[in-house]
Structure 1
Amino acid sequence: MKTKEIILILVLTLCLVAVVPVTFGDNTSVTYPLTPVITDVTTEPTFMPTVTSPVTEPTTIPTTVETTSMPGQDQGWIDVYCNVDGSQVYFNNILEGTTAGGILSVQVSVSGTPVQTITVTQSGYTTWTGRPSSMPSPGGHVTVYATINPLTTIPTTIPTTVPPVSTGAIYAQSNPAGAAIYMNGNFYGYSPLTIPNLGPGTYSMKATLSGYTPDTTLVNVYAGQTAPYYPTLQQSPQPRPTGSVSVTSTPNHAAVYIDGSYYGVTPLTVTLYPGTHQFVLKYSGYNDYTTNVVVYAGQTQALPVSMSTATQGTVVITSIPGATVYIDSNAVGTISSSGSLTLAGINMGNHIFKVTATGYNTWLNTVYIQANTVNTISAPLTPQGVSPTPVQPTGSLAISSSPSGAETYVDNLYRGTTPLTVTDLASGDHLVRLSESGYVDYTTTTTVTAGQLMPLALTLTAAPTPTPTPVPAPGSAQVLCILATLAGICGYMRRRC
């Protein structure tokens, strides 16, 4: 064998030994890999191209790798906006902080416990409670708006400067509801309703509703109180025949009351059910006129009324108890312990009133007494030798009239003739009365404001002239009677001659 052939056989033998496992006596096989196995590159097991007994376990790399969350991927923010800075914000009843610059941003876990309740509080304000519309997304924001309002406080003391209540009201509620409500003949609305700012006194109320009989009554109103008027209306019976009465009066515009209810002023025509009805006419300065009228179905009758002038009125004088009251220099009584004296039957016109008491300065003034009216006079007395009470702020009235020269009374006290300016009037309402011969007295109420001069221009109305009663012309029967009488006298005279 040649040398080259020997060398080739040795090389092939070495290659075979490098590939085929060599078996030892204990049957342990040793594998000599030609190349190393890189396990971090492939997940496929490596198999030897030789005998597989024993087989080595394959090395497997898991296909899923656990990832680590990046910071902020599980966090979001809830932004709470509030109109009051410094307000405390609670999430699920846990304080998270206070608002500043109108906002508080709170970081929350997106996957954690959701925020169910948000509460915003501040001392002296109402508490706001709500909830977010949703939880924020990772890295996102959810906005919540909370508005809180100041608490309303009620003063524990009543200011001493509050003026006393001088008016009242009437609350009307009909059964059934919805009735038209009238006061003193004027429509005010539908039940239920309240008629406010009414001076103390008596008011005529009326409630009407289609299909029901009207209700009328008198309601008394007191200062600071609301008088109730609860009419219960009855369904109207079958239509009944009615009659009418046409009422006129001298003087005109007299108030007409029928069966105790106010119906209006003259001239006035009223429709009534048949029967007897009481009519009462009232006019300031005249005696009340009262009569009964029988109304007949289908007939209209006239009721002309001539009212007689009243001559006397009533006086109520208020002053200190024990003071003596004089009218036209005649002592008429003493102020009672209640502080007043009532005098009835005082003739209408001007009277000089004087009130005296020991240790006090005398009060003296001219007062016009209105007939058929209660005239109230206040006569305050000041102690002698004592510094007078500080003068309260007052206002004035500049009163003019057409025609001029009318006697002027303010709160029933004579102040002179128009035109004139009346000073030293306390703030509030005052009764002004003007009287002039040949004219109807003018009475009004005006308000005086402290520190101001209020103009008051009034026009008087001429008094009505009584219509003379015509003398009826003699009828034909009367003429025949007169002629027969004259003929008889002539015959008698002839026989005598």
Structure 2
Amino acid sequence: MTRKYHLAFPAAFFAALFGLSACRPPAPPPEQPGSQVYIQTDPAGAAINFDGIDIGISPTTLPSVRTGEHLITARKQGYFEARKTLSIAAEGRIVEEIKLAPIQGLLIVHSVPAGAEVQIDGANRGRTPVLVRDILTGKHRITVSLPGFVPQVRDIDVAGRVPQKVEVKLTSSMGQISVASTPAGALVTLDGTPSGATPCEIPSVAPGKHVIEIALQGHASARTEVDVQAGQKRAVKITLAPLPATVLVNSIPGKARIYVKDAFRGESPLNLVLPAGAYTFRAELNGFEAATKTNTLAAGETNTVELRLTKNTGAIILVTEPADVSVFIDGREYGRTKALQGDVASQELKIDNLPQGQALLHLTRPGFFDLKKNIDISANKTIILNEKLVARPVPFIPNVIVRTGPAPEQTAKGVLKERYANGDTEVEVAPGIFKTFKAGEAVITPIPPEPEN
């Protein structure tokens, strides 16, 4: 709204000036003496009041002001009101300058964390916490900055001397990464740089993509990429997969049957790949007590399990007379004794892995009485047995003539017992006496049967 102001002058002045008369036409006014007053302010733009009348905005000019004392008042937002008395003694041009004192506000700037640099309208005003005592009223822009944090900008309007508080919480320009793993205790590297063991916090990480690697003995290493944002905290949680364990299972003696958790896995020595954990290994071998051992296999490690078996059986060494005797123990046949060249007794026959305790030995050969006897088998001991079978009495009826030379004493009669594939011939040369003739050693011919009458 625009207001019009007029200077107040005496009515006689106007009458004389315009030559007003109720009876005659107006006459030219006489020159009114006065001074021209030019008013300027620092800064310009102040509202000027002259003797109580608002006359405009500085700079401004009054064309004719009478002599005497006059009051000039200047007002401008953000500045204290200024008043000045103007004394005019004579006519002339007067330049009057009024300097306005700015109204300065009070500003308190805090930041979290403290120690941040404060700039107001681009000028450095100190570090937080800071009290600014000389800020002009009006609008201002505050910038709060601290290395490692994102600068913060605030626009404020200072109205007067009432203290104004600005609080700024700074956000880190770096990011953070928290790393956890299952199981814990894994070594962490960030972009190849060691950064602790899980669980751990990695502060002051530059924004951008980073590579996290996690390694723990006995587990497969893990690798992941993390995109870090300024002022943010990224959480990385990784479950590490355990590596399998390897185990070599040996037994003494070897060739034992190996069981793992009661499941047959093969004969020793045996290589196995198993998940980490506790296992029971068992070795079994005929003639031996089973051996058992429990081992805990660590992930990723190589282990050796040795199972020593204790013999729980005995053995016998058997010599028979004659040879070619069938041998039975508790009804099970273990073979025949073999002839020993030039001897009526047999070669030694060893029978091993016999269960300990009492057993029945049974020897048999055609033409001889069976021999049966109880034997005591002891663990890890060997019994030596020499057994002679008794021939069954049979009539001695020669059926071959044996000639070893041309002389009469080199000719004999006997009973043919067996012809062998290698050409040897076994003959009973006298009742109960047997002799084996090598091929070509004798001429053996059948005795012709006597003619029937």
TM-score clears 0.5? no
Q: TM-score normalised by the shorter chain: which range applies?
A: under 0.3
TM-score by length of 1: 0.23
Bigger Rg over Cα: 2
What is the TM-score with the length of structure 2 in the denominator? 0.25
Select the structure that is richer in helix: 1
